[in-house]
Chain A
Amino acid sequence: MLLPAVLLYTAFIAYPFARSLLLSLYDWPGIGPKTFVGFENYRNVLTGYMSREFFRALGHNARFFVLSWLMSMIPGFLLALALSVGLRGTNILKVVYFIPNTLSIVIVGFLWGLLLNPQWGIVNQTLRAIGLESLTRPWLGSTETALPTIIAVTAWRGMGFYILVFLAAIVGINRNMFEAARIDGASEVQVVTRIIVPQLLPIVSTLTVLKVIWSFNVFDIVFAMTGAQAGPAGSTDVLGTLFYRIAFGGLGSSDVGMGLGATVVTLIFVIVLPVSIFYVFILERRTETR
């Protein structure tokens, strides 16, 4: 019964990827004859002419992970906590909060591009209207704000997922624990910090693993918001856009190489794989000890 999954997955995902990763040992423009070059691509990426761009992009991925962790987990938890109070309309809000998740990333990037327009975009207009003129920014037009802006848009789209997962976990906590704490004289804030937060830690670790995987593979939202060049001045460039530029080039780009692109992806994979392995083992341990 496991066979269909393994077969399909092997034939259409694992095998093609394995073949593509092997390309990292070749010089190949994506068509025509391949030339075996050994580890030259790795040299170029890690220490050669690509290394500046590679490590800059890697740094942006790391920043993406940290910032998007903060921007998703904390508001996600607080909003879930707010929902767990059980006010009227909670069920409708749960649905509303997940709607951005259903939009394609292309649409999300496109819509937020309009909202963030520096001249007539609603974000700056709102800030001006409520007297926070000093907080207006060119958002996607400054090297300082562009990456955090893209991360915030990602968090906006994904928030519903975090809210619902946290909410599910909060609702699943045994109510007697709350009562017991209150009898011991705990305030509501202490109920949150002493009971709810510790109970959520396993979920947080799972979500963190997913965050790592997603953060190091991020591509579409950057591509949709700042394009293949991931501007301004490369300040939003991540490994995904770097791979895209190298492997497929862009209009007028002189640099195309599937081999070099495969090298970048192999390196992403090498970064993410240990995290996945670690996760599988902690999950196993968790279920075994239960």
Chain B
Amino acid sequence: MHNPNRFFVSLLALLTVIAGVAMAGGGQEDATGGDEAPLVEIWGWRTQDAPVWEQVEAELQAHGENIEINYRAFPPTEYDSKLLVSLQGESGPDIMYTRRLPGARTQALIDGEYMIPLDGQVDFGNFTQATLNFIQSNGNTWGVPFANQIIGIFYNTSIFDEYGFEEPETWDELVEIAETLQADGVTPFFIPGKEAWALAMQHAMVGVSIPGVDWIQRLLVGDTNFLDQELVDLNTRLNDLKQYYQANFIANSTAEQDAAFALEEAAMVFYGIWGTTNWTELNPDFEFGYFPIPTVDDSDPARAYVYMDGSYALNSISDVPEAALTVLQFSATPEFGEIFSAATGEMTAVANVSMPADRPILVEAYGLSTTIAAEYIYWVGSPMGAGTPSPYDILREGMQAMYLDEITPLELAQRLQEGVSTWYAPLQ
């Protein structure tokens, strides 16, 4: 290899051969396109949905619909760039996954007239109003919701059984459990502190129980604000809880959390129902349960943060709008909901669907998502998410800062108040 020119020539020759072989292989696939079934292109950020769309295609064809579906999942961090650029080149998908409202990304797609309101074209009768709120604006419904998520504490059932713990009903009971476990050398909580969003989520999920939805309702209308002692108390409780987290938790990722929890190295995690499929895959024998964040006083019922994860929207420049609409109409039915939940292990956004019986956690969570869902929230899907900075923006950095003792619980409250009040009228 003393001569790079000769090297390149041989490499080129090799390449031509490989390319030739590849094209010969590719040619056979092209030969199958005989009938004129409209191809509905769907883009999303969820790799786990590939089997859903395969089954939907089969189901639609069984119903006599002559439709083909091609689903492509892009990395979640890159999906928005890909979609945005493609739409401007008029080459996007027919159906696109969109994030919930309020949110600048989806709002830009609406403002740019890339999304079509689906009212009157899709039957939304199978969704609760609470779910639809996350994708409606100005009286229009912009997409078909696909999943609801419920967040809270997941626990290792065998550890709880071993120590004879019940699901705690007050915050103090939760702390007591953590105390007992830690004294015995068991890591009570595994927290993925490197991922700022997970800490913001932790704050929000505790917030619906302590101070609770009534307080949040008052916050949203401006009857109280983030400097209220109740919120400082919440921050303090979280900050006091960190002694029960694994050492150096600010350096851990959700991937490490999932492994540690599923491989039974920690008793509890603050997380969402979407994680359960992964835990079962990591350790098929792993048994776990769910409870919402307990309140201060057990006479107050515990609440759960439930939010819609995203929806399917119709691209206004689709060249097969009828076929795409047929797919969307199907995705609003209980039949679709069953396919979705069975394939992904997550909660379909469609109401009154029976969850797969082999996933008891899903059955429980799906029930709770309608009975104890918090009506008032300040994280994703809240009116406070419509501007910058949102509580989410501030909590991401602020929670890490508080956990690292760079700011106090009071200062975290001050950051929230100062940031959000710059644009959120009721707080001004």
Q: Do the two chains belong together in a single complex?
A: yes
Contacting residues, chain A, for B387 (C-beta < 8 A): 254
Contacting residues, chain B, for A255 (C-beta < 8 A): 104, 388-389, 393
Q: Judge whether A141 is part of the interface by a CB distance below 8 angstroms.
A: yes
Q: Evaluate whether A254 and B393 lie within 8 angstroms (CB atoms) in the complex, with A31-B114, A228-B77, A232-B400 already known.
A: yes
- With A and B bound together, what is the CA distance between A138 and B246 in angstroms? 12
Are B256 and A31 within 8 A (Cβ)?
no
Contacting residues, chain B, for A29 (C-beta < 8 A): 104-105, 107-108, 111
Contacting residues, chain A, for B103 (C-beta < 8 A): 252, 254
Contacting residues, chain B, for A142 (C-beta < 8 A): 250-251, 404
- Size of interface on A: residues with Cβ below 8 Å to B: 34
Per-residue CB contact flags for chain A residues 224-253 toward chain B (1 = under 8 Å, else 0) read 001111011110000000000000111111
Are B112 and A118 within 8 A (Cβ)?
no
Q: Report which of A113, A229, A248, A251 forms a contact with B397, defined as CB distance below 8 A.
A: A229
Min distance, Cβ A32 to any Cβ of chain B, angstroms: 3
Q: Report which of A117, A229, A254, A256 forms a contact with B196, defined as CB distance below 8 A.
A: A229
**Nearest-neighbor residue (CB-CB) of A246 within chain B:** B388
Are B193 and A141 within 8 A (Cβ)?
yes
Are B397 and A256 within 8 A (Cβ)?
no
- With A and B bound together, what is the CA distance between A249 and B256 in angstroms? 25
- Which of B114, B248, B387, B400 neighbours the largest number of chain A CB atoms within 10 Å of its CB? B248
- Which of A140, A231, A255 neighbours the largest number of chain B CB atoms within 10 Å of its CB? A231
- Which of A33, A141, A142, A143 neighbours the largest number of chain B CB atoms within 10 Å of its CB? A141
Contacting residues, chain B, for A253 (C-beta < 8 A): 104, 392-393
Contacting residues, chain B, for A250 (C-beta < 8 A): 77, 197
Q: Report which of A117, A229, A252 forms a contact with B380, defined as CB distance below 8 A.
A: A252
Q: How many A-B residue pairs have CB under 8 A?
A: 123
Are B256 and A232 within 8 A (Cβ)?
no
Q: Judge whether B129 is part of the interface by a CB distance below 8 angstroms.
A: no
**Nearest-neighbor residue (CB-CB) of A140 within chain B:** B251
Q: Judge whether A119 is part of the interface by a CB distance below 8 angstroms.
A: yes
- Size of interface on B: residues with Cβ below 8 Å to A: 50
Min distance, Cβ A31 to any Cβ of chain B, angstroms: 5
- With A and B bound together, what is the CA distance between A233 and B412 in angstroms? 12
Q: Evaluate whether A141 and B252 lie within 8 angstroms (CB atoms) in the complex, with A232-B400, A234-B397, A254-B388 already known.
A: yes
- With A and B bound together, what is the CA distance between A141 and B256 in angstroms? 14
Q: Evaluate whether A254 and B392 lie within 8 angstroms (CB atoms) in the complex, with A29-B104, A232-B400, A249-B80 already known.
A: yes
Are B76 and A117 within 8 A (Cβ)?
no
Contacting residues, chain A, for B249 (C-beta < 8 A): 141
Q: Tell me which of B54-62, B81-89, B118-126 binds A.
A: B81-89
Min distance, Cβ B102 to any Cβ of chain A, angstroms: 8
Residues of A within 8 A of B (CB): 29-33, 49, 113, 116-119, 138-143, 226-229, 231-234, 248-256
Residues of B within 8 A of A (CB): 76-77, 80-81, 84, 87-88, 99, 102-105, 107-109, 111-114, 193-197, 246-253, 256, 380, 385-390, 392-393, 396-398, 400-401, 404, 406, 422
Given contacts A229-B197, A232-B250, A249-B105, 20 further A-B contacts (CB under 8 A): A29-B104, A29-B111, A31-B88, A31-B109, A31-B112, A32-B112, A118-B252, A138-B250, A138-B251, A140-B194, A141-B193, A141-B194, A229-B195, A233-B400, A251-B197, A252-B385, A254-B103, A254-B392, A255-B104, A255-B393
CB<8 Å pairs between A and B, sample of 11? A30-B84, A31-B88, A31-B108, A32-B112, A142-B251, A142-B404, A233-B397, A248-B80, A249-B80, A252-B103, A253-B392
